[in-house]
Amino acid sequence: GDRVASTLVEKGGEFYHGYTYSGHPVACAVALKNLEIIEKEGLVERVKNDTGPYFAQALQERIAGHRLVGEVRSIGLMGAIEIVKDKATKERYLPSGSAA
């Protein structure tokens, strides 16, 4: 307790143990307001039932057929597009290669 704290202060100077915004009252207030808006406007349900399925369908219709796309996946509003060298074999580019 006190012995450790005094050693840190006396021999090590101030003891910084956080980041600029961690636990800051304004950041906490904004986070709470953000959660309130998400709940009030039903954003999770809207993504689940409306915008998420629309996004998934749009990815499939507009991107999945591209010659460099091996696979397209999504859940909610998070999407992933696999870029491949050969669509038929799904051969990938080498890490040092270029997809352009």
pLDDT of residue 13 exceeding 70: no
User: What does the pLDDT average to over 5-18?
Assistant: 67
Domain segments of the chain as ranges: 1-41, 45-100
User: What does the pLDDT average to over 34-42?
Assistant: 98
Q: Determine contact, residues 68/90, Cβ cutoff 8 Å.
A: no
pLDDT-derived band at 41, boundaries 50, 70, 90: very high
User: What does the pLDDT average to over 39-63?
Assistant: 97
Comparison of pLDDT for 28 and 76, the residue scoring more: 76
Task: Give the architecture-level CATH label for domain 45-100.
Answer: Alpha-Beta Complex (3.90)
Q: Determine contact, residues 76/47, Cβ cutoff 8 Å.
A: yes
Q: What is the DSSP letter of 39?
A: H
E-assigned strand segments in 4-96: 69-75, 78-83
Q: Two tokens at 67?
A: 């010659």
Q: pTM, whole model, 2 decimals?
A: 0.64
Q: Determine contact, residues 87/63, Cβ cutoff 8 Å.
A: no
